[in-house]
Amino acid sequence: MQPVDNPSIRIAFRSLISLVFAGAAVTACTTHEYPGRRANDAGDSSGVSAAATSSTSTPAGENVTGATAPTGPGWGIPADGDWTTQGRDYANTRYSPLAEIDTSNVSSLRIAWSFNDGVLHGHEGTPLVANNTMYLVTPFPDIAYALDLTKPGAPIKWTYRPNPSPIAIGKACCDVVNRGWQLADGKLIYNLLDGHTVAVDAATGKELWRTQVYDVTQGVTMTMAPVIVKDKVLVGNSGGEMGVLGSLTALDLKTGKIDWQATSTGPDSLVKIGPDFKPFYSWMQGKNLGETTWPAGAWKNGAGAVWGWITYDPDLNLIYAGTSNTGPWNAQQRPGLNLWTSGVFARDPDTGMAKWAFVFTPHNEWDYDGVNENILVNLPINGKQRKVMVQFNRNGFAYTIDRATGEVLMVSPFGHENWASGIDSVTKMPIVVPEKKTEVPGHWVRDICPADIGVKDEQPAAFSPRTGLFYVPVQNICMDYKGREVSYIAGTPYWGADMTRHVGPGGNYGEFIAWNASTGKKVWGIPEKFLVYSGVLVTGGDVAFYGTVDGWFRAVNARTGKILWSQKLGSGIIGAPMTFRGPDGHQYVSVLAGVGGAAMVTKAMPGFPARGGTLYTFALDSSIPAQGAQASQSSASSNGAPAKEKR
Amino acid sequence: MAIHAFAFHRAPCLRAAAIALLIGSVQACKGQPELLREGSTGGIPLPKDSTLARVALGDIAGSTRNTLLTSIKNPYEGNTGAIEAGGELFVRMNCVACHGYDARGGMGPDLTDTYWRYGGSPAEIYKSISEGRPQGMPAWGAMLTSDELWKLTAYVQSLGGSFPAALAEQGKQGNLGATLDTATGVLKGRQSEP
């Protein structure tokens, strides 16, 4: 199903490669204490007792940046009590207006019910809720569950087992994750690790269509969350470490039939670049740059996989989808700018044709993918209101970009990086620090920050239209890196790097920050000993929720950064929390706990949790029926206890 | 780039079909070239494919005792030159990318512990490399010679997680620890983490 044939197997005997994820050394970081932290008075018992590190905080009720979320019927905003797509709306704000749980009462949250899905791999998705039903999909083998929220304990309504090919297990670089599922047109739609997309009847769990999009035997997998725009299901591939040809594919929502496919590298005809393509910067203008910025033919295994998040502006009729790292990691084997990897495309969802593109990390030497979510907001910059997208890139810089033109309006580091001294004011290319270049293989380059997994990875940030702030999970991790020559052998990794990772300055692997995208400045931050590899939820009650890799689920005052509540869950949190209104009218908060994915690079840390696969649902103590309540005359009481038999 | 030459010969269709039947896999005979299996470059006799084909997968066998498993030994076991050559293949064929530079696992399983999904005796390791395994392990028998596969096996054996052919039955029964304790002083399969 790929637009070009994979090259035949090539074997070279001088090649070298490396291990990257597992077994990578993790040094330092045991019980480091962070200076300047305020005492936490909310009963946080994690031993990390983090609190805001900045004196700046936002006054109650005020939007401090002037940034607002786009609104209108086309923006995919569900009913206020529902959550039907991963990012909650096409802008991917992950903001819910629900406000029963607020800063004054969130400390009384407790577990209402939980659900173990039986799969012990990384849980990176967000539960969905519609029609009083919760929808979950497990990591491989990608089982879908519908849970009935109208019944006590939310029992299983239906289960769908797609039985994907187990070959996929050995082709996925970084755990066999599923990053998300979507509800549209009465269907639950998601990707299988083995390169298929499926649509399931949301009411019955019956499979409606199943389409093979990619060939898993060639190392191509699928882990991203599809996005449904009009009559199209948009999906992309994974395999940035497998020498794949990255692409974005549109399927027909009704039938699953493939409509169009656009690659991330190669000639303009494959990339879907035509006369309407107008990149803002001159170095991205020209014919067939996806082919000519590579050594002959290298684009075919140049990656640019589309494994991240897709957002959509219905007013401009443009979708925004990032492209992965460049393949192989060893940059000496691919002299050139290596377009269009490590960047983002704006495309027409109807045709796939590119409107503009921007490449964050040209000739990527560090695995800084461009796939992170592009959150769409409207905000003032230099006194002028702009329609922008904000991306917190792996490379450590936060980009505020005009989403109509691709012009970079604001760019600044949002965490610790030392590989670039800045961004060129004219070209917006990174100014690479010569000592951090990895291009010449065979020698160790020490202390490159961030490490391959970036200052932020795929875990999605959130935006509150109430505060005007972005809430961002941040990683403080660096690497020692040694490039290695590598040969392409189809179906095996095409990697070309050996590395170890270590914690960045301060000794905290993680941080949770609030960000002003108009000024490019951090407002406050909460350091965490372990990685913050969870997505973020922010609500109308001005509460932001996030989780840590060691399993702490936290609620934070979205204005001040003060931790208001924490709960230790059964495994590390790498999914994104969500909130919904239950059939009882009360607000609930749900999150998956199941460590895995790229968070495993820190698995050697003392206290790193075991695998898990449990959904936790929380509510205010006052909203949860009392435990052990008297059984009623009905078949089941509100706490699920069977009715007492009459004797 | 050096070009690697493979030694192929055409195998009778019947023989290939018989092997496929014996190992329980579904393979159509399409007259593909089969690798030359007999005789190593150094003149060391190698176990024949037809014998190896009768070694069942460790995880699905068990009803009868397979004496072959304990009698097929790696002719290169402990051979320093062969282990070194196997180590080079481990890098060149991208094994390191999945199993790790230190062979402690990543995308693929750890090869230094005594947990073997498809058996940890020399013949079973050889077969796993040659035939591939369902969760993503490619079938290297299609592109490496028998000689190279045994050298790779010798390298994997040198990592300390595999066990000698003579202990194959104990391995299946889960009784490996005590035996290995005497042999190597290490109980890798039962170690506690700090």
DSSP calls for B71-106: H---TTTT-HHHHHHHHHHHHHTTHHHHH-TTSS-S
Q: Which residues of A touch B102 (CB under 8 A)?
A: 19, 23
Q: Report the pLDDT value the prediction gives residue B102, as an integer from 0 to 100.
A: 86
Residue A609 CA: distances (Å) to CA of B61, B130, B143: 35, 36, 40
Contact flag B104-A18 (C-beta cutoff 8 Å): no
Nearest to A592 by CA among A644, A543, A533: A533
Q: Are A371 and A85 in contact (CB under 8 A)?
A: no
Q: Phi and psi for B183 in degrees, rounded to 5?
A: -70, -40
Q: Using one digit for the tens of pLDDT, what is the confidence trace for A428-452?
A: 999 999 999 998 888 999 999 999 9
- Shortest CA gap A568–chain B (Å): 23
Residue whose tokens read 């192989």? A328
Instruction: State mean pLDDT over A397-419.
Output: 98
The dihedral region occupied by A243, where left means phi > 0, alpha psi between -120 and 50, and beta the remainder, is left
Nearest CA in chain B to A166: B135
Q: Using one digit for the tens of pLDDT, what is the confidence trace for A281-319?
A: 999 999 999 999 999 999 999 999 999 999 999 999 999
Paired sense of beta strands A537-539 and A95-96, if any: parallel
- Shortest CA gap A606–chain B (Å): 8
Q: For chain B, which residues lie within 8 Å of any Cβ of chain A, measuring from their own Cβ?
A: 1-2, 4, 91-94, 96-102, 104-108, 134-138, 143, 194
Nearest to A293 by CA among A358, A330, A337: A337
Catalytic residue among A44, A100, A194, A241: A241
Structure tokens at B70: 């304990």
Q: Phi and psi for A385 in degrees, rounded to 5?
A: -75, 125
Q: Are A141 and A164 in contact (CB under 8 A)?
A: yes
Does the annotation mark A369 as catalytic?
no
d(CA A244, CA A241): 8
Nearest CA in chain A to B108: A170
Task: Identify the bridge partners of residue A303 per DSSP, sorted by sequence position.
Answer: A245, A326
d(CA A493, CA A18): 10
Structure tokens at A553: 């689920």
CB atoms within 10 A of CB A442: 12
The total number of residues written for chain B in this structure: 194
Helix (H, G, I), strand (E, B) or coil at A623: helix
DSSP one-letter string for A459-511: S--EE-TTT--EEEEEE-EEEEEEE------TTS----EEEEEEE-TTS-SEE
Report yes or no: A17 at the B interface, CB cutoff 8 Å: yes
Structure tokens at A579: 């909130």
Q: Using one digit for the tens of pLDDT, what is the confidence trace for A232-283?
A: 999 999 999 999 999 999 999 999 999 999 999 999 999 999 999 999 999 9
Q: Which residues of A touch B106 (CB under 8 A)?
A: 19-23
Nearest CA in chain B to A175: B107
d(CA A482, CA A440): 9
ipTM for the complex shown: 0.77
Q: Report the pLDDT value the prediction gives residue A142, as an integer from 0 to 100.
A: 98
Report yes or no: A64 at the B interface, CB cutoff 8 Å: no
Nearest CA in chain B to A497: B97
Residue A202 CA: distances (Å) to CA of A153, A176, A178, A189: 20, 24, 18, 9
Structure tokens at A111: 């577990």
d(CA A517, CA A467): 12
In degrees, rounded to 5, the angle at the alpha carbon of residue A23 between the alpha carbons of residues A14 and A575 is 120
Out of B100, B105, B135, name the one closest to residue A169 (CB).
B135
**pLDDT more than 90, % of chain A:** 85
Does the annotation mark A317 as catalytic?
no
Q: Which residues of A touch B93 (CB under 8 A)?
A: 11, 489, 492
- Shortest CA gap B43–chain A (Å): 23
Task: Identify the bridge partners of residue A313 per DSSP, sorted by sequence position.
Answer: A318
In degrees, rounded to 5, the angle at the alpha carbon of residue B63 between the alpha carbons of residues B62 and B69 is 45
Q: Report the pLDDT value the prediction gives residue A597, as an integer from 0 to 100.
A: 97
Predicted model pTM = 0.86
- Asked whether the predicted pLDDT for residue A632 surpasses 50, the reply is no
Instruction: State mean pLDDT over A191-201.
Output: 98
d(CA A221, CA A159): 23
Q: How far apart are the first and last CA of chain A?
A: 66
Structure tokens at A67: 């940034």
DSSP label of A430: E
Structure tokens at A214: 């990619």
- Asked whether the predicted pLDDT for residue A4 surpasses 80, the reply is no
Does the annotation mark A367 as catalytic?
yes
Contact flag B105-A22 (C-beta cutoff 8 Å): yes
Q: Which residues of chain B have pLDDT under 50?
A: 1-36, 182, 185-187, 194
Helix (H, G, I), strand (E, B) or coil at B184: helix
Q: Are A417 and A292 in contact (CB under 8 A)?
A: no
Q: Using one digit for the tens of pLDDT, what is the confidence trace for A203-215?
A: 999 999 999 999 9
Q: What share of chain A is helix, strand, coil (3-state, %, to 5)?
A: 5, 35, 60
Q: Which residues of B touch A171 (CB under 8 A)?
A: 107, 136
- Shortest CA gap B166–chain A (Å): 30
Q: Are A120 and A137 in contact (CB under 8 A)?
A: no
Q: In what order do the strands lie in the sheet with A444-448?
A: A26-27, A497-503, A477-483, A444-448
Q: Are A513 and A525 in contact (CB under 8 A)?
A: yes
d(CA A440, CA A442): 7
Q: How far apart are the first and last CA of chain B?
A: 45
- Asked whether the predicted pLDDT for residue A48 surpasses 50, the reply is no
d(CA A544, CA A540): 10
Q: Using one digit for the tens of pLDDT, what is the confidence trace for A475-500?
A: 999 999 999 889 999 999 999 988 89
Q: Using one digit for the tens of pLDDT, what is the confidence trace for A66-121?
A: 999 999 999 999 999 999 999 999 999 999 999 999 999 999 999 999 999 999 99
d(CA A313, CA A74): 8
In degrees, rounded to 5, the angle at the alpha carbon of residue A464 between the alpha carbons of residues A458 and A469 is 80
Please report which helix (H) or strand (E) contains residue B176, including its range: helix B176-184
Nearest to A527 by CA among A502, A500, A546, A499: A546
Q: Report the pLDDT value the prediction gives residue B178, as an integer from 0 to 100.
A: 54
Q: Report the pLDDT value the prediction gives residue A57, as an integer from 0 to 100.
A: 60
What is the rounded radius of gyration, in angstroms, for the C-alpha atoms of chain B? 17
